[in-house]
């Protein structure tokens, strides 16, 4: 089990104040990692960071950042590196997939925002923090993608395109930052985070019965094992990989 130990490592997690990001932050802390919690609202990040520190006895930091902003990502990378003394793990988890009534109702602003949050921010943070990791001779970057990138649904096309770009970027960054820094992606399926409150659960359950091998959505903590694997020495010969954590989505059904 020592291969999965994150003691002494520091992990920055975007979108870390709720949902899958919060589950990963708590899971990493339980494995011994110091945690940098990042989301748009600094006060919420600060509360979460304080709770994690109290629960697990690790060091924590909190920073507010809108990852759709190139300049804010640039500033975040600099201040987080300075505050922590160097990051070992970066989890690009922040994402968005707004609903739209029809394809023609998708505005340019919505389209650009989806790509900025899901692709531009991870690229900028990975480039800056990843380069620092290379200089230190080690590091792991984990991009939280989506099964939508492989099997896009009609209601999430900009999101599916942005996550497909994130998949491609994962492969390119693995080549650019290797061999000392590993870059991988988790292709997440449907998870019961706060966004599930907007789902038509009857329709989802019907789809899950037909289109997901496990016939259900995931609980947020069910992504943690995969994330710890990719963050830890257990995956030291794994890079440029897309790891599906989706309950077994059957292609063409969703």
pTM: 0.96
Whole-angstrom distance between the N-terminal and C-terminal Cα of the chain? 36
The CATH number for 124's domain is 3.40.50.720
Residue 70's domain comprises 2-245
The number of beta carbons lying within 10 Å of the beta carbon of residue 248 is 11
pLDDT at 225 over 80: yes
Structural domains in the chain (count): 1
CA–CA distance from 124 to each of 71, 75, 78, 135 (Å)?
A: 9, 11, 12, 17
111 catalytic residue (yes or no): no
Residue 34 lies in a domain: yes
pLDDT at 254 over 60: no
pLDDT at 36: 98
Residue 252 lies in a domain: no
Average pLDDT of the chain, as a whole number? 95
Residue 251 lies in a domain: no
Residue 203 lies in a domain: yes
* For residues 4-18, average pLDDT: 97
pLDDT at 194: 82
Active-site residue (options: 100, 111, 159, 237): 159
Residue 250 lies in a domain: no
pLDDT at 252 over 80: no
Report the C-alpha gap between 140 and 177 in whole angstroms.
Answer: 10
Residue 12 lies in a domain: yes
- Residue bearing the bigger pLDDT, 214 or 253: 214
Residue 128 lies in a domain: yes
DSSP label at 103? G
**Contacts for 102 with CB less than 8 Å, ≥ 6 apart:** none
CA 154 to chain centre: 23
Residue 253 lies in a domain: no
| Interval 133-174: pLDDT, tens | 999 999 999 999 999 999 999 999 999 999 999 999 999 999
pLDDT at 164: 98
Cβ pair 17, 41 in contact under 8 A:
yes
Q: How confident is the model at residue 197 (pLDDT cuts 50, 70, 90)?
A: confident
Q: Which residue has the tokens 């080690």?
A: 138
């Amino acid at each position: 089990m020592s291969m999965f130990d994150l003691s002494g490592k520091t992990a920055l997690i975007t979108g870390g104040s709720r949902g899958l990001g919060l589950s990963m932050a708590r899971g990493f802390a339980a494995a011994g990692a110091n945690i940098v919690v990042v989301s748009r609202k600094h006060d919420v990040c600060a509360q979460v960071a304080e709770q994690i520190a109290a629960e697990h006895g690790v060091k924590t930091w909190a920073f507010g950042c809108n990852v759709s902003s190139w300049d804010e990502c640039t500033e975040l990378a600099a201040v987080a590196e300075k505050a922590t003394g160097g990051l070992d793990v970066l989890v690009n988890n922040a994402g968005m997939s707004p609903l739209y009534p029809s394809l023609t109702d998708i505005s340019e602003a919505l389209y650009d925002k989806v790509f900025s949050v899901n692709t531009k921010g991870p690229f900028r943070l990975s480039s800056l923090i990843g380069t620092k990791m290379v200089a230190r001779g080690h590091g792991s970057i984990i991009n939280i993608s989506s099964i939508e990138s492989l099997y896009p649904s009609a209601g999430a096309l900009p999101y599916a395109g942005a996550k497909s770009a994130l998949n491609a970027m994962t492969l390119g960054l693995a080549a650019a930052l290797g061999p000392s820094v590993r870059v991988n992606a988790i292709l997440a399926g449907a998870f019961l985070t706060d966004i599930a409150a907007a789902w038509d659960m009857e329709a989802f359950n019907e789809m899950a019965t037909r289109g997901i091998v496990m016939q259900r959505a995931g609980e947020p903590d069910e992504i943690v094992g995969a994330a710890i694997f990719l963050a830890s020495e257990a995956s030291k010969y794994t890079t440029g990989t897309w790891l599906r954590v989706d309950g077994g989505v059957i292609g063409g059904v969703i």
